[in-house]
């Protein structure tokens, strides 16, 4: 079976989604590299790159959102309250130690 250009070309939504996922992966990699960096200059470089990737990710997100491709759902109040309680317990446990 011979593939045509339309069979292998991403549409705009899929291309933006792919870029967004790539930026998220880069953020994870730079975060890990920042944690593992052993010199100040290396950590500064990783930090600058992380901030740049974060800006790129946000730009792609806003483009997707403005086109209706990415519609984040508001958090449920019960989930927020549960998360707050969990972190308050953990904070109190850390203070007790």
Look-up of token digits 């870029």: 19
SS3 of residue 61 by DSSP: helix
Q: What sign does the dihedral 87-89-92-94 (CA atoms) show?
A: negative
pLDDT bracket for residue 81 (50, 70, 90): confident
Q: Which has more confidence, 95 or 17?
A: 17
pTM over cut 0.75: no
Closest CA relative to residue 52, chosen from 67, 76, 30, 73: 30
Distance set, CA 61 to CA 75, 78, 84 (Å):
18, 26, 26
Segment 22-29 mean pLDDT: 97
């Amino acid at each position: 079976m011979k593939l045509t250009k339309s069979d292998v070309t991403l549409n705009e939504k899929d291309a933006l989604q792919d870029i967004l996922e790539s930026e998220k992966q880069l953020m994870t990699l730079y975060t890990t590299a920042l944690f593992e960096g052993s010199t100040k200059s290396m950590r500064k470089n990783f930090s600058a790159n992380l901030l740049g990737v974060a800006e790129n990710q946000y730009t792609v997100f806003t483009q997707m959102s403005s086109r209706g491709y990415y519609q984040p759902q508001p958090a449920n109040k019960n989930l927020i309250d549960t998360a707050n309680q969990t972190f308050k317990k953990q904070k109190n446990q850390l203070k007790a130690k």
